[in-house]
Homo-oligomer: A and B are copies of this chain.
């Protein structure tokens, strides 16, 4: 893949798997030719770049941090190199940038100015969990985090279950890893027994990856431990998936 003047959206790994398990080799070629990065976290970005190319001269690169501590008015300046003709890379903490992270704000700015944006291929827990769930992949929605307060959370879960049935769509959401077990318990006690529930955990990790779909009633009493493991939850109460 030849590099052009663009904002490259560069996925990073979501486990400790070798890069060649989850990233096309062309991504490494692109990374080698970018000097300017916009990243969610500088430390993990540097580590990823070193993993791509051990001989990379990290100190010759520039990094701008884009996360909840960033001043929105500062973001436009991050695109300066691109405006003068140099490619810029956007990287998230894990997975695909601008999905379930703050990266979309700078992609939106680039689009507004007519700057070219090139998305690269990489691992997405949303997409991979959907693929492996067996739930409807012809209609689905991702909701990020659900409310934390108990009554609001239960209502959100019931609403997603009803919407899944009404629209025949898979409903996907995430949780802070230390709350995974509590989320699963709440789902099991809140959903109807025949609503399908999938937990996908440690995706792309060759040793620990697990994607399990069962009716909610069959999650009851099953011993599982998702504590502090990266997980994603999917529910489906639509009519059976058709051909």
| Interface residue ranges of A15-47 to B (CB < 8 Å) | 17-26
- A88 on the B face (CB < 8 A): no
Known contacts A117-B211, A122-B121, A134-B117; A142 and B143 CB within 8 A of each other: no
Contact partners of A121 in chain B: CB under 8 A: 21-23, 121-123, 128, 204
Q: Which of B102, B203, B209, B213 is the one whose CB lies under 8 Å from A243? A: B102
Q: How many residues on A have C-beta within 8 angstroms of the other chain's C-beta atoms?
A: 74
Q: Which of A19, A72, A132 has the largest count of B CB atoms less than 10 A from its CB?
A: A132
Copies of this protein, total: 2
Question: In this complex, what residue of B is CB-closest to A136?
Answer: B104
Contact partners of A185 in chain B: CB under 8 A: none
- A56 on the B face (CB < 8 A): no
Q: Which of B20, B100, B129 is the one whose CB lies under 8 Å from A138? A: B100
